[in-house]
């Protein structure tokens, strides 16, 4: 595949598809990211869980154990819409943890962010011999990942009960995963090809 396809003829994963683009997080993004993460919508729902670390600790936590981190931005005007990261890569056992958050509007995974997630999975499976990618999310965030679960991107693995506290109650934590084999199947499906930018014939509702 060439042009705006998800994988070039050399097999190298690409970072854009004409609608969204992934770019490495840089120092110029730190003020935006800190403001976004401490805004009322994601403040307790994502990485910082309501805390306000010092600028030094914020940077240290951001890159601690990190493999890659991308800003997801609109291809047309480079507006940042979210963040994707891979961390705690276990090269010996072939797995890695991933995290993602849409840091604008209502935080849900719309088609633009899902397209970024698809490019991200292609990047990780194309660049490293991972067998499986894991995503950990509190139960109260599950509606934000519903479309990814519904489309088969992520499947249930484990569910520690009453594990995290928010809004006067304890919530379960859900571990979701995507395997190399399941992603190979998903990426060639009609919704997968649309999200990756290899076809424009299928709309993802």
Q: Would 155 be classed as within a structural domain?
A: yes
Calculate what percentage of the chain has a pLDDT beyond 70: 80
| Contact between residue 155 and residue 178 where contact means Cβ atoms under 8 Å apart | yes
Encoding tokens for residue 166? 């928010």
Strand-pair category, 132-138 with 95-102: parallel
pLDDT 10s digits, 79-125 = 888 899 999 999 999 999 999 888 765 545 568 888 999 999 999 99
Number of domains in the chain: 1
Distance CA 203, CA 205 (A): 6
Exposure of 128 in the CB half-sphere (CA atoms within 13 A): 21
Q: What is the pLDDT of residue 9?
A: 42
Average pLDDT, the chain: 83
Task: Answer positive or negative: Cα dihedral of 117, 118, 124, 129.
Answer: positive
Summarised one tens digit per residue, pLDDT across range 43-93 is 677 676 778 888 888 888 888 999 999 999 998 888 888 899 999 999 999
pLDDT over 90 at 143, yes or no: no
Note the pTM of the prediction, 2 decimals.
Answer: 0.82
CB atoms within 10 A of CB 99: 16
Is 43 contained in some domain?
yes
Q: Is 25 helix (H, G, I), strand (E, B) or coil?
A: coil
> Is residue 35 over pLDDT 80?
yes
- Within a domain: residue 4? no
Domain span at residue 60 reads 20-196
pLDDT of residue 201: 39
Q: Is 111 helix (H, G, I), strand (E, B) or coil?
A: helix
**83 assigned to some structural domain:** yes
**Quick one: average pLDDT of 193-199?**
84
CATH number at residue 167: 3.40.630.30
Half-sphere exposure of 24 (CA within 13 A, CB side): 6
Instruction: Please check whether residue 9 lies inside any domain of the structure.
Output: no
Contact 172, 159 (CB under 8 A): yes
């Amino acid at each position: 595949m060439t042009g705006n396809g998800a994988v070039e003829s050399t097999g190298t994963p690409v970072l854009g598809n004409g609608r969204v683009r992934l770019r490495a997080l840089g120092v110029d993004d730190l003020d935006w990211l800190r403001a976004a993460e401490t805004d009322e919508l994601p403040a307790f729902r994502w990485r910082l869980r309501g805390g306000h670390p010092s600028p030094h600790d914020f940077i240290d936590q951001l890159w601690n154990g990190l493999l890659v981190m991308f800003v997801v931005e609109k291809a047309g005007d480079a507006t940042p819409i979210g963040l994707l990261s891979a961390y705690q890569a276990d090269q010996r056992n072939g797995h890695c943890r991933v995290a993602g958050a849409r840091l604008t509007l209502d935080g849900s995974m719309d088609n633009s962010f899902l397209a970024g997630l698809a490019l991200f999975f292609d990047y990780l499976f194309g660049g490293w011999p991972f067998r499986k990618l894991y995503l950990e999310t509190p139960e109260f965030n599950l509606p934000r990942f519903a479309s990814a679960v519904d489309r088969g991107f992520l499947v249930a693995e484990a569910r520690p009960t009453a594990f995290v506290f928010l809004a006067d109650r304890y919530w379960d934590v859900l571990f979701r995963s995507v395997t190399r084999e399941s992603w190979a199947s998903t990426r060639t499906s009609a919704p997968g090809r649309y999200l990756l930018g290899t076809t424009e014939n299928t709309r993802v509702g």
